């Protein structure tokens, strides 16, 4: 056999075995950082070196980021031209590829469009208007959620739900087909269907992808598993790698059972165990192991570090979340200034997206570059943008963009036709949409029902205008009143895909109000306008940061899967946050533990876990308690400290010396 240009030499014997075994099913079950992903990439290089054509090789991962990282890793080992012929993709993009070729077998045209969530919603709205009788009422986003759920479970929307929703569902599917469009859920469903129903398509794709690899296999769900089983040919050249301890998508229907029952689907697999962890120090690993040991139903595995004990992980108690963010940002700043370490070596991990706001602010204040991975920037989120749009509109009714954003969110009976007419009228008369809505000539064009809805809206806006313009207004409280009037929480619950998303968005709203109170306390003279300006400036900065400038990674534990960083901070490890409050009622405590395990095992050399004694809710500090997971971890592998005590200690001489040496260097003196 030919030897690939690079790669195999950099594997240990077990990894090498797995990489060289290119025929028949292979199952690599191994702990974090043992080189599973490296085995996949090297295996691809090995196959190419053994004259397997690149076009016959498929590697599937979960996120775009993971796919592009894998592509980069492979590119360093193989010929560039060949690399282009490989298929390295996510499940969704694989399905698009399959459907672009084979969807005609299902009676769709090859040129189908893919509908995003907002396209989908627009269509659903249209259908509801057409189908609903006078007395009937169906929230479009609710319908969207029910339809998606029904499609994923492969069942029709239950007749018992109510007749209208089943009718809308049927019409929606029919109309999608007429429009020659598929939605996101359809991608997987239709790809499975075409492979199931068409022998020709199945044979075609099996001839195309003869060697299949799947990373993060522990998080595949039923549909994805079906897809794999249909795609894998009789010779069963499939290699999956995964770690049952890192299964963190139970709530999305991922089935750890898949990994535990791999043998049932693919006969006599070669099972490879990897036990050497190349990523983390012994201290980090021991801490991670002492935690995950508490999970039931797991495959026992050994993990050894090749890096020696290393630095002790710290568990730091913080007085509050503001101090937590500031302390971490300060520490990163010091390490980059004194030790000259690059920002990319640092990552701050959190359980919920909302936790990123204070961190973002702390980084910005120090001009530390950062990037948010796997989440939108806080101020980009739908619910946050909605509220900011309301506030901007109160200050300036002529801000058409804000007005159009919120005029029907939540819905208030002003139909799309009215909005379009108002927009057209405003263009014609060269006035703002709000002015059009107050214009008698325009109003006379509307039905009396629409007139009523429009009048209620303009009254509502002018009701807030005066207080919004008063500098001394308590705008945090004003926004809370607004939320109540809009019934915004209800609106979120109705329009989110699942309760997890709704509660996440509710928390974001609370975070936003929190930041208003905070701002108000510090800059009382600037009023609401001052607050909105400061937010707008942040968004401007955000745009500049968009090019992939290097920086500190702020990242949820879910999105951190598969990644690694020299120094990792895990923040907010409090009871109720991690484990999440809901995990108690839902019995998902083990999954929360796996999530923390994923977080800890991202660290290569330094790990700090922080928790706060208090967090602010509506400006009031509420007491918090350390996560019960912290008590499960081996005390001999952690350094428990209290930030307030540490902060009072004078800096050690060494640090001070280092610092002054750097300063002199920066100032150009010797």
Q: Where on the chain is the footprint of Mg ion (CB under 5 A)? A: 36-37, 562
Catalytic, 471? Answer no
For 11, counting Cβ atoms within 10 Å of its Cβ (0-12 exposed, 13-18 middle, 19+ buried), the class is buried
What is the rounded CA–CA span in Å between residue 220 and residue 589? 20
The residue annotated as part of the active site, out of 151, 405, 602, 616, is: 602
What is the rounded CA–CA span in Å between residue 492 and residue 512? 15
Residue 284 Cβ vs ligand ATP, minimum distance, rounded to whole Å: 12
Cα Dmax for the chain: 84
What is the rounded CA–CA span in Å between residue 106 and residue 197? 9
**Nearer to ligand ATP among residue 251 and residue 278 (C-beta):** 278
What is the rounded CA–CA span in Å between residue 419 and residue 564? 49
Residue 218 within binding range of ligand ATP, rule CB under 6 A = no
Interface with ligand ATP (CB under 6 A), residue total 17
**Nearer to ligand ATP among residue 38 and residue 558 (C-beta):** 38
Residue 21 Cβ vs ligand ATP, minimum distance, rounded to whole Å: 16
The residue annotated as part of the active site, out of 15, 21, 34, 37, is: 37
Residue 215 Cβ vs Mg ion, minimum distance, rounded to whole Å: 6
Catalytic, 507? Answer no
Helix/strand/coil (H/E/C) assignment for every residue in 399-432: CHHHHHHHCCCCCCCCCHHHHHHHHHHHHHHCCC
Three-state DSSP state, 33: coil
Residue 365 Cβ vs ligand ATP, minimum distance, rounded to whole Å: 32
Give the residue from 23, 67, 63, 28 showing the smallest Cα distance to 46. 23
Exactly one of 8, 11, 359, 552 binds ligand ATP (CB under 6 A); which one?
11
The residue annotated as part of the active site, out of 139, 186, 216, 244, is: 216
Binding at 279: pick from Mg ion, ligand ATP, none (beta carbon under 5-8 Å per type): ligand ATP
Residue 38 Cβ vs ligand ATP, minimum distance, rounded to whole Å: 4
**Nearer to Mg ion among residue 62 and residue 475 (C-beta):** 62
The residue annotated as part of the active site, out of 36, 141, 210, 371, is: 36
**Nearer to ligand ATP among residue 36 and residue 381 (C-beta):** 36
What is the rounded CA–CA span in Å between residue 316 and residue 565? 19
Q: How far apart are the first and last CA of the chain?
A: 59
Residue 498 Cβ vs ligand ATP, minimum distance, rounded to whole Å: 26
**Nearer to ligand ATP among residue 147 and residue 274 (C-beta):** 274
Catalytic, 215? Answer yes
> In the structure encoding, which two tokens stand for residue 65, read together?
């980021």
Residue 531 Cβ vs ligand ATP, minimum distance, rounded to whole Å: 41
Query: With CB under 6 A as the contact rule, which of the stretches 11-19, 148-156, 526-534, 550-558 interacts with ligand ATP?
Result: 11-19
**Nearer to ligand ATP among residue 226 and residue 244 (C-beta):** 244
Where in 266-285 is the site for ligand ATP (CB under 6 A)? Answer: 278-279
Mention every residue, 6+ apart, whose C-beta is less than 8 A from residue 481. Answer: none
Binding at 626: pick from Mg ion, ligand ATP, none (beta carbon under 5-8 Å per type): none
Answer whether 211's CB lies under 8 Å from 56's CB.
yes
Query: Would you give the DSSP letter of residue 87?
Result: E
**Nearer to Mg ion among residue 381 and residue 561 (C-beta):** 561
Query: With CB under 6 A as the contact rule, which of the stretches 6-14, 90-98, 201-209, 658-666 interacts with ligand ATP?
Result: 6-14
Exactly one of 14, 139, 243, 574 binds ligand ATP (CB under 6 A); which one?
243
Where in 551-580 is the site for ligand ATP (CB under 6 A)? Answer: 562, 564
Q: Which residue is nearest to Mg ion (CB)?
A: 37
**Nearer to ligand ATP among residue 182 and residue 259 (C-beta):** 259
Binding at 15: pick from ligand ATP, Mg ion, none (beta carbon under 5-8 Å per type): ligand ATP
Q: Which residue is nearest to ligand ATP (CB)?
A: 35
In the block, which residue shows the tokens 């509050």?
Answer: 320
Binding at 375: pick from Mg ion, ligand ATP, none (beta carbon under 5-8 Å per type): none
**Nearer to Mg ion among residue 37 and residue 286 (C-beta):** 37
The residue annotated as part of the active site, out of 215, 219, 360, 383, is: 215
Instruction: Give me the 245-264 binding string for ligand ATP, x by CB under 6 A, dash otherwise.
Output: -x------------------
Helix/strand/coil (H/E/C) assignment for every residue in 323-377: HHHHHHHHHHHHHHHHCCCCHHHEEEEECCHHHHHHHHHHHHHCCCCEEEECCCC
Catalytic, 135? Answer no
140-153 and 117-131 are packed helices; what angle lies between their axes, rounded to 10 degrees? 110
Where in 28-57 is the site for ligand ATP (CB under 6 A)? Answer: 32-38
> In the structure encoding, which two tokens stand for residue 271, read together?
């099972």
Mention every residue, 6+ apart, whose C-beta is less than 8 A from residue 341. Answer: 335, 566
Give the residue from 618, 409, 611 showing the smallest Cα distance to 509. 618
Answer whether 579's CB lies under 8 Å from 636's CB.
no
Residue 41 Cβ vs ligand ATP, minimum distance, rounded to whole Å: 8
Per DSSP, helices labelled H in 527-606 are 527-545, 581-586, 589-600
Answer whether 22's CB lies under 8 Å from 235's CB.
no
Catalogue the active-site residues.
Answer: 36-37, 215-216, 246, 602
Give the interface with ligand ATP as residue ranges (CB under 6 A). Answer: 10-12, 15, 32-38, 243, 246, 278-279, 562, 564
């Amino acid at each position: 056999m030919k030897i690939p240009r690079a790669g195999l030499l950099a594997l240990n014997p077990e990894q090498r075995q797995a990489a060289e075994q290119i025929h028949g099913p292979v199952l690599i079950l191994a702990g974090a950082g043992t080189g599973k992903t490296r085995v996949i990439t090297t295996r691809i290089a090995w196959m190419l070196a053994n004259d397997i054509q690149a076009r016959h090789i498929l590697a599937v991962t979960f996120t775009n980021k993971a796919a592009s990282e894998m592509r980069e890793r492979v590119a360093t080992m193989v010929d560039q031209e060949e690399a282009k012929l490989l298929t390295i993709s996510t499940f969704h993009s694989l399905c698009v590829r399959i459907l672009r070729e084979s969807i005609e077998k299902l009676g769709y045209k090859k040129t189908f469009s893919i509908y995003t969530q907002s396209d989908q919603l627009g269509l659903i709205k249209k259908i509801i208007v057409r189908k609903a009788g006078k007395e009937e009422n169906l929230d479009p986003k609710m319908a969207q959620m029910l339809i998606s759920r029904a499609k994923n479970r492969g069942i029709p929307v239950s007749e018992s739900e109510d007749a209208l929703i089943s009718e809308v569902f049927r019409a929606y599917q029919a109309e999608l087909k007429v429009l020659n469009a598929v939605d996101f859920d359809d991608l997987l469903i239709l790809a499975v269907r075409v492979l199931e129903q068409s022998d020709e398509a199945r044979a075609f794709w099996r001839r195309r992808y003869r060697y299949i690899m799947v990373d993060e296999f522990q998080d595949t769900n039923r549909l994805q598993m079906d897809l794999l089983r249909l795609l894998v040919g009789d010779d069963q050249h499939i290699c999956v790698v995964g770690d049952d301890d890192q299964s963190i998508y139970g709530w999305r229907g991922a089935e750890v059972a898949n990994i535990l029952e791999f043998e049932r689907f693919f006969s006599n697999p070669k099972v490879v165990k990897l036990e050497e962890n190349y990523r983390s120090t012994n201290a980090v690993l021991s801490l991670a192991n002492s935690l995950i040991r508490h999970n039931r139903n797991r495959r026992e595995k050994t993990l050894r570090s090749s890096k020696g004990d290393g630095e002790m992980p710290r568990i730091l108690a913080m007085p509050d979340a503001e101090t937590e963010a500031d302390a971490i940002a300060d520490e990163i700043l010091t390490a980059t200034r004194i030790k000259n370490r690059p920002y990319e070596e640092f990552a701050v991990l959190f359980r919920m997206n909302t936790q990123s706001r204070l961190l973002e602010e702390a980084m910005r204040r120090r001009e530390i570059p950062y990037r948010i991975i796997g989440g939108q920037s806080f101020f980009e989120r739908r619910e946050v943008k909605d509220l900011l749009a309301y506030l901007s509109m109160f200050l300036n009714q002529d801000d058409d963009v804000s007005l159009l954003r919120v005029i029907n969110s939540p819905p208030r009976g002003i139909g799309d036709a009215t909005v379009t007419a108002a927009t057209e009228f405003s263009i014609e008369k060269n006035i703002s949409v709000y002015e059009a809505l107050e214009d008698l000539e325009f109003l006379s064009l509307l039905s009396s029902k629409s007139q009523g809805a429009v009048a209620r809206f303009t009254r509502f806006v002018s009701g807030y205008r005066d207080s919004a313009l008063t500098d001394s207004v308590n705008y945090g409280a004003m926004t809370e009143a607004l939320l109540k009037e809009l019934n915004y929480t209800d609106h979120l619950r109705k329009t989110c895909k699942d309760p997890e998303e709704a509660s996440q968005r509710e928390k974001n709203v609370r975070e936003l109000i929190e930041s208003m109170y905070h701002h108000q306390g510090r800059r009382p003279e600037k009023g609401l306008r001052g607050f909105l300006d400061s937010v707008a400036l942040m968004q401007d900065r955000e745009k500049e940061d968009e090019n992939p400038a290097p920086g500190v990674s702020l990242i949820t534990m879910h999105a951190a899967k598969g990644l690694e960083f020299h120094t990792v901070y895990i923040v907010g490890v409090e009871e109720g946050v991690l484990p999440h409050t809901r995990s108690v009622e839902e019995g998902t405590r083990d999954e929360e533990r796996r999530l923390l395990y994923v977080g800890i095992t991202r660290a290569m050399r330094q790990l700090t876990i922080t928790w706060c004694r208090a967090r602010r809710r509506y400006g009031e500090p509420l007491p918090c308690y350390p996560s019960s997971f912290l008590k499960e971890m081996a005390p001999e592998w952690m350094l428990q400290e209290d930030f307030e005590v540490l902060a009072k200690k004078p800096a050690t001489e060494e640090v001070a010396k280092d610092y002054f040496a750097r300063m002199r260097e920066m100032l150009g003196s010797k």
